[in-house]
Amino acid sequence: METKQLFQLRPIDWRWFIVSYCFLVLFHLAPSFLIGGSKNSFQELVSFLLWIGIGTPIICAIIAWWSRGITILEPGLAAALYAFTLLGIVKPYLIFGSGYRSVAEQVVLLLSMFVAGCLGAAFGEWIQMRKEKKQVA
């Protein structure tokens, strides 16, 4: 068996990347600002991590479940871009407590968002595959 057939990367579908990013902004960021405002929602690091760690995978799972085919990398990349947007929109001192933090901590945030997005998308794909198996049977 050749390793080419075992592991093959497919090209990124940029349409799902854009859809994922727009969904994250529309259904994650906008309601957060409407409900709590930027100051109260982001003051504590723990509440921010819970907010980002629960909401992002849920939205990425919905996107992957809704898409046709396998869409895992696109929501993960969109989640990382979304985190980068958060670092620019929401002042870093509101995200990380008082004062600016190092670049390493911001890179950890970007990578963790990528992983959270990919895990959420993988869960959405798993639900999609279960639904298709039920329809076939």
Reading the block at residue 58, the tokens are: 């849920």
Q: Model-level pTM? A: 0.77
3-state secondary structure at position 11: coil
Q: Quick one: which of 59, 76, 65, 68 has its CA closest to 24?
A: 59
Q: Is the four-CA dihedral 38, 43, 45, 46 of positive or negative sign?
A: negative
The tens digit of pLDDT for each residue in 39-70 reads 544 455 566 667 778 889 999 999 999 988 88
pLDDT at 14 over 80: yes
HSE-up of residue 131 (Cα within 13 Å, Cβ side) = 11
Sorting pLDDT into bands at 50, 70 and 90, what band is 91?
low
Choice between 35 and 15, residue whose per-residue pLDDT is larger:
15
Reading the block at residue 62, the tokens are: 């919905």
Reading the block at residue 8, the tokens are: 């093959």
Which burial class, exposed, middle or buried, applies to 106 when counting CB atoms under 10 A from its CB (0-12, 13-18, 19+)? Answer: middle
